[in-house]
Amino acid sequence: MEQDLRTLLTSVRDDAPPPRLSVDDITAAGRHLARRRRRLALLSSVGGGAAAAVAAVTAALVLAATPAALTPAVDPSTLHNPAMSAGWTAFADAQPFVTTYKGYTAGSYLVSDPDLVTMAYQQSSIDAGIDLSANFSSPLPTTAASVPGLSRVPGLLRGGILVVYRPGAFHAAAFGKSAQKLGVRAGVGLLHYAGDSAEPPLPSADRAGMQTVRGQVPTLAWQYTTDAWAAIYWSSWESVPTKEELVAIADGLAPSATKEFPVGFLPSSLPHGFSLLSVSYGTDMGDMGSGEQVVSAVRLSPQHPALPLTEPIDLQSFPALTLSFGRTDAGPRMADKLDCTSSIECQRVLGDGTTYVKAELNGLKPTPASQVTQITLGIRPQDADNTAAWPPAIKVFP
């Protein structure tokens, strides 16, 4: 009996399938897993961003592999409150002169990173990529400066600005009851048309038609988060968008990590009683001419605009001490020389004659404490080509 049982067990063992992994295979797999765990730990310790990127790619692959039937279709027009939609990140409650969004594209329109900030809002330029030949009856000059409305970006036309107001800093009183209501991702937008456009001179025969075009320049405002408004102000009749394009630009606004707006110079002599009004990359300074280009500008003022605003601040006419830093083609012979045309404006060319600093009083009378000569001599510029190293304006001008 014992012999029969031994024979049966031997038969069962011999007929069993061979193991899928040998001892060597199991050992090698264990070593591979250990190396993988060490590599992941190293990535995590060096930078969480890399691990997050891996996770994001993995998630994207998983979603891409999900059958379409399992992914419900969502109508964006039904998402009246972006804070309620999945994946939406709320705008940060940041202090003035700190940006909370980045630039983006909406169809053929390019919205820049915030290029100007004030104590009440952030602002971006909007350029339009359109066929210029369809908007001019004569051949275009080749330089951007000679074409009204032409963007600094090749192939684009200036369109308008996006202004993102701080909570409580804007009131939509200017829109009134006559404003059209448009559905935007954040809720309801208010649209009205005005003639605030800057057009090149036209023959008298074309003026009647131009008045009609001027009436089609739009402004769209909407609440992008609780008690906070954003508005698109168009200024160029050559690139007026459709309602659908305006909505697309509005819907493209999304929050990002906060960033302190930088300034390209350090002052050493400033009058008391002046505080920061605005900081920009020079987009608010207009055409400087004479081969000059502003790369960083600050406005300091003894006054503050009353809030809430009903439109952007008219910075050109607001009383302020304006400090600027930029590029020039003055040449080395002008380096370190002061050029003071009056008691309210002074400029100094620097280094090899390719950069300059400037101080100017706008709407203010000079005093012993606000001598533009001394202020200009005290401006220390940063590297114009390395904006990433510029200091935050709120730390330079607390």
Q: How much is the average pLDDT of 107-120?
A: 96
- Give the strand pairing for 157-165 and 180-184: unpaired
pLDDT at 215: 59
% of the chain residues with pLDDT over 70: 64
Q: Is the pLDDT at 16 greater than 60, yes or no?
A: no
pLDDT tens profile 191-217: 998 643 333 333 444 444 444 455 578
Q: Is the pLDDT at 97 greater than 80, yes or no?
A: yes
Q: Is the pLDDT at 243 greater than 70, yes or no?
A: yes
Beta-carbon-side half-sphere exposure of residue 94 (alpha carbons within 13 Å): 25
Looking at per-residue pLDDT, the higher value among 16 and 104 belongs to: 104
User: What stretches of the chain adopt beta strand conformation (E)?
Assistant: 98-101, 104-106, 109-111, 116-118, 121-128, 157-165, 180-184, 187-194, 217-225, 228-234, 255-260, 265-266, 275-280, 293-301, 320-327, 338-342, 345-350, 355-362, 380-381
Asked whether the beta carbons of 132 and 140 are under 8 A apart, the reply is yes
The residues, ordered by sequence, that sit 6+ positions from 125 with a Cβ below 8 Å of its Cβ are 111, 112, 115, 151, 158, 161, 162, 283
Q: CB neighbours (10 Å) of residue 333?
A: 8
In terms of Cα–Cα distance, which of 132, 225, 117, 131 is closest to 162?
Answer: 117
Residue with tokens 């067990």: 9
* Assigned token pair, 91: 């705008």
Q: Is the pLDDT at 336 greater than 80, yes or no?
A: yes
CA distances from 138 to 37, 68, 144, 145, 160 (A): 67, 51, 15, 17, 24
pLDDT at 224: 97
Q: How far apart are CA 340 and CA 31, in angstroms?
A: 74
Largest CA distance in the chain: 123
Q: Is the pLDDT at 264 greater than 80, yes or no?
A: yes
Q: Is the pLDDT at 379 greater than 80, yes or no?
A: yes
Cross-strand pairs, 123: 116, 163
Asked whether the beta carbons of 340 and 359 are under 8 A apart, the reply is no
Q: Is the pLDDT at 308 greater than 60, yes or no?
A: yes
Beta-carbon-side half-sphere exposure of residue 293 (alpha carbons within 13 Å): 9
Q: How far apart are CA 8 and CA 142, in angstroms?
A: 97
Asked whether the beta carbons of 398 and 263 are under 8 A apart, the reply is no
Q: How much is the average pLDDT of 379-398?
A: 96
Asked whether the beta carbons of 324 and 296 are under 8 A apart, the reply is yes
